[in-house]
Amino acid sequence: MAKVSPTRKSTVDPEEISHFGKDSGHWWDENGPFAPLHRLNPARMSYLRDVITRHYGRSTDNLQPLKGLHIIDIGCGGGLVSEPLARMGATVTGIDADRKAIAIAKDHARSSGLNINYEAASTDELQGQFDVVLALEIVEHVASVDKFVDECVGLCKPGGVIIFSTLNRTPKSFALGIIATEYILRWVPVGTHSWKKFVRPAELAHALRQAGAAPQEIRGLRLHPLRQEFEVVENDIDVNYFMVASNPAASGKRTKR
208 vs 255: CA distance, rounded Å: 10
Domain range summary for the chain, segments of one domain joined by + = 11-246
Instruction: Give the model's pLDDT for residue 192.
Output: 66
Q: What mean pLDDT, rounded, does the chain reach?
A: 86
In which band, very low, low, confident or very high, does the pLDDT at 182 lie, cut at 50, 70 and 90? low
The confidence score (pLDDT) of residue 11 equals: 74
pLDDT at 252: 43
**Does residue 185 register a pLDDT over 60?**
no
Give the integer Cα–Cα distance in Å for 181 and 239: 12
- Considering Cα of 243, then 231, then 13, then 110, what sign does the dihedral take? negative
- Going by DSSP bridges, is the β-strand pair 156-167/126-127 parallel, antiparallel, or unpaired? unpaired
Q: Tens digit of pLDDT for each residue in 77-116?
A: 999 999 999 999 999 999 999 999 999 999 999 999 999 9
Question: 247, 156 in Cβ contact below 8 A?
Answer: yes
Q: Does domain 11-246 have CATH number 3.40.50.150?
A: yes
Residue 186 has pLDDT above 70, yes or no: no
Given a contact cutoff of 8 angstroms between Cβ atoms, the answer to whether 145 and 198 are in contact is no
Q: Which residues contact 94 (CB under 8 A, 6 or more apart)?
A: 72, 73, 76, 79, 82, 102, 105, 116, 117, 118, 119
Q: Which residues contact 89 (CB under 8 A, 6 or more apart)?
A: 63, 64, 65, 66, 67, 68, 69
Return the CA Rg of the chain: 17
* 198: Cα within 13 Å, side-chain hemisphere: 23
- Contacts of 62 by beta carbon, 8 Å cutoff, 6+ apart: none
CB atoms within 10 A of CB 162: 27
Residues 12 and 207 sit within 8 Å (Cβ to Cβ):
no
Yes or no: say if 140 and 197 are a contact pair by the CB < 8 Å rule.
Answer: yes
Q: Model pTM?
A: 0.85
Please state the rounded mean pLDDT for residues 215-244: 90
Which tops the pLDDT comparison, 67 or 226?
Answer: 67
CB 80 within 8 A of CB 34: yes
pLDDT score recorded for residue 244: 98
